[in-house]
Amino acid sequence: MTKKMLATGLAMTLALPALAQGLDFDTLDANGDGFVTMAEFQAAMPDVSVDAFMEADTNADGALSQDELAAAQEEGILPAGDE
């Protein structure tokens, strides 16, 4: 449980600057795996609904690619971060 709490804290610490800088994909991708999970996204944008995230996840793999994130922001599904 301690490891999970530390990992969550680290993800939040790394993702919080996204609020001030806009939603930069590399900032949101806290673990650097090339995808943004719901946990990583909610760490930066806690008010975004699970439904909006799922709508943005067009291939339903549980994570957003850089293209999915950009498309969802363009379509207004997810906030661009400067709102």
Query: Number of structural domains, the chain?
Result: 1
In a domain, 79, yes or no: no
Of 23, 27, 33, 22, the C-alpha closest to 65 is 33
In a domain, 83, yes or no: no
Assign residue 49 the CATH number of its domain. 1.10.238
In a domain, 46, yes or no: yes
* pLDDT for res 82: 53
* pLDDT for res 33: 96
Give residue-wise pLDDT tens across range 12-60: 444 444 433 456 888 889 999 999 999 998 898 898 899 999 999 999 9
Residue with the bigger pLDDT between 9 and 61: it is 61
In a domain, 81, yes or no: no
* pLDDT for res 17: 41
Using CA atoms, how far apart are residues 70 and 72, in angstroms rounded to an integer? 6
Write the burial class of residue 27 (CB in 10 Å: 0-12 exposed, 13-18 middle, 19+ buried): buried
* pLDDT for res 72: 93
Using CA atoms, how far apart are residues 49 and 64, in angstroms rounded to an integer? 14
